[in-house]
Amino acid sequence: MQCHVNLIPLNAVKERGLDGVTEATVRRFTEKLESLHISVTRRREMGDDIDGACGQLRRKTLESLNTTEGVQ
């Protein structure tokens, strides 16, 4: 089976109890995929510095909606 993995490291989302991954973990996972002859591209992480990375912007939007609707 031919496939290509676009690897996007997990960002920390403290409200969900999700920890981000370390660079070493990303590197080990990439190396494992490559050792199995699976093509992989590690994508750049963008937006973490403004809480706009994967999952973070959605969380801020939901928090904002909950605040304006009086939901706690």
Residue 56, both tokens: 């973070």
- Distance CA(49)–CA(35), nearest Å, equals 33
Give the CA distances from residue 12 to residues 9, 22, 32, 55, 67, in Å, rounded to whole numbers and listed in that order.
Answer: 10, 11, 23, 9, 22
Please tell me the predicted confidence (pLDDT) of residue 31.
96
- Distance CA(34)–CA(43), nearest Å, equals 15
Q: Tell if the pTM clears 0.85, that is, is over it.
A: no
**37 or 13: which carries more pLDDT confidence?**
37
Tell me the helix, strand and coil percentages in the chain, rounded to 5.
45, 15, 40
Q: What is the pLDDT of residues 22-70, one digit of tens each?
A: 889 999 999 999 999 999 999 876 666 666 666 556 656 566 666 665 6
